[in-house]
Each structure stands twice: as C-alpha cells, then as structure tokens.
Amino acid sequence: MKNCDLYPIIFKRKSIRKYDPTPLDDDTLQDISKQVQRLTPLYSEIKTEIRIIQSNDVKGRMMKKAPHYLAVFSEIKEGYLTNIGFMLQHMDLLFSSNSIGSCWQGIPIPTRDVLMSSDLKFIILMAFGKPLEPLYRESTSEFKRKPIEKIGDVDGAQELLEPARLAPSATNSQPWFFKGDDRIMHAYSVKPNILKAIVVNKYIPIDMGISIYHLKVAAEHFGKKTKIWFDKEQEENSPKGYKYFASLKFGID
C-alpha cells in the first residue's frame, strides 16, 4: 500500500457495500497488516489490537459481505472509542487511496473463537476488499451532509472544517460541532434526544474520532502541525447541549 497525501481522498471517498468475494493477494494483506501496526493512536496509553479476519470469521445480519475485515479490540479507558475512530479512519482513507473498498460495520460481530482470542474488548469491524461498485464519488455534491454553518462556530478555518464535515458517521448522524479558529479548535458532539440516543450513543465517540482525524489530515495538508489533547477546563465549560471531546492546536510546520 502506498502512503500519500490523504486530503484529496476525503473529498471523493465513499463507503463500499458490494465486494468481489475473491481474497486479496498475500502480499497486499501483509502490507495492510504492516500499515495497521504503524497506526498512530489518538491516546497512546490505551492498548488496542487490530486483526485481519476473513468472511467466515464474522456473523450477523445486515452484513456488507466482504472477503476481509479489520476486527478492532481495545482496553476500556476514558476516550477509548474516540481513539478507535481516529485510528481506523486512517485505514479507511488508506484503503481508498490504494483502490481498496472499505466500510465501517457497526452491527456484525466476529465469531466466538475470534472474540475469545483477545483479552481486550471487541469494539467494531471494518469490511474491506476489491469493490464491485465505483470506488469514488464523482463530486462532493453526492455527500449527504449538514451545511458547514450547522457543524461549527469557527473563525477563518473553512479549509479545515470542510473535511470534517465530509466525515462518515453511524446512520449518517453527523454529531460533531466545532468551536474556535484556525489556531485552536474544540470538538464537541451535539447531545441527541432520548429516542435518537438509543441508536447512536454507542457510536458518537467513534464518529468524533473519525472527524478529528479528518481535521488532522487537513491541517497537515496545509503544512500545520497538529497537537490534540483533552482539556478538563473545556469539558467543564461545554456549551449547553454539547459534550466535549478534544481540543486541537494548529501551527506552521
């Protein structure tokens, strides 16, 4: 797999739901395994494990049947779901940049044997393989997303906010909201109503990690180093109706 600037991929990637059942070749799978081992976590102190498993290692309804899956396991600590979203979205963009289809899978789970083989908690799957449908969108108009003014109160950082706006999310809920400017930005989620929370609460922290990763990719594309941290003061002073997740500081590389 080739490493490249992932910024352009954000504007055309899509979730692939139809796959050629033919497995990828061994060299490609070994390369993917190496890329997984090199992933940079959002929180380095949280133990994670990401394995490549096959179609017969997965069960569940509503599966996007694929020849391969990344099965993600994690230690349970504060921020663990956001950490997973951040890490695995790197793989989603890498897959797309290397002509491999992929799709987040929130409902299917690995078989008992796979689950029992790890001491960590199973979190989520990502399907991947050769696509049997167009890999890319033809334009950003194909994204069904909230307008940019609905996802942020940010001064002078539209080039960073737009990639975050295009991030994928569970049930396309787009829970993110950002405040700040082109130097410091704070990431929040909109608290869902009671009925919606039943469906999306499990996935909101993962979705937030995905959007934060898109922000990081955009900042690096424009030559800005990115520092990401959890600010207790920001958490305590979150606007009403919002939950704080992380802060990002952007500087010139």
CATH number for 68:
3.40.109.10
Residues 14 and 124 reside in one and the same domain: yes
Residue with tokens 């990431």: 187
Residues 125 and 148 reside in one and the same domain: no
pTM for the predicted model, two decimal places:
0.95
Strands (E), 167-238: 176-181, 184-190, 224-229
User: Residue 10 has which token pair?
Assistant: 């954000």
How many domains does the chain fold into? 2
Residues 119 and 17 reside in one and the same domain: yes
Nearest to 128, CA basis, from 98, 97, 95, 167 = 95
How far is residue 117's CA from residue 233's CA, in Å, rounded to a whole number?
39
The size of the chain, in residues, is 253
Q: Could you list the residue range(s) of the whole structural domain that residue 111 is in?
A: 7-129
> Tens place of pLDDT for every residue, the chain, 253 residues?
778 899 999 999 999 999 999 999 999 999 999 999 999 999 999 999 999 999 999 987 656 689 999 999 999 999 999 999 999 999 999 999 999 999 999 989 999 999 999 999 999 999 999 999 999 999 999 999 999 999 999 988 999 999 999 999 998 999 999 999 999 999 999 988 887 777 778 899 999 999 999 999 999 999 999 999 999 999 998 989 999 999 999 997 6
Residues 96 and 166 reside in one and the same domain: no
3-state secondary structure at position 21: coil
CB-CB neighbours of 116 under 10 Å: 9
Residues 120 and 15 reside in one and the same domain: yes
Of 129, 159, 193, which marks where a domain is finished?
129
Q: Is residue 134 part of a domain?
A: no
Q: Is residue 88 part of a domain?
A: yes
Residues 212 and 243 reside in one and the same domain: yes
Of 94, 129, 164, which marks where a domain is finished?
129
Using an 8 Å Cβ cutoff, are 12 and 136 in contact? yes
Residues 28 and 121 reside in one and the same domain: yes
Using an 8 Å Cβ cutoff, are 125 and 111 in contact? no
103 sits in which H/E element: strand 101-105
Residues 70 and 22 reside in one and the same domain: yes
Of 79, 99, 129, which marks where a domain is finished?
129
Which residues on neighbouring strands pair with residue 176, listed in sequence order? Answer: 189
Using an 8 Å Cβ cutoff, are 162 and 214 in contact? no
Residues 149 and 79 reside in one and the same domain: no
CATH number for 246:
3.40.109.30
Residues 149 and 125 reside in one and the same domain: no
Contacts of 221 (CB under 8 A, 6+ apart): 5, 7
Which residues on neighbouring strands pair with residue 152, listed in sequence order? Answer: 178
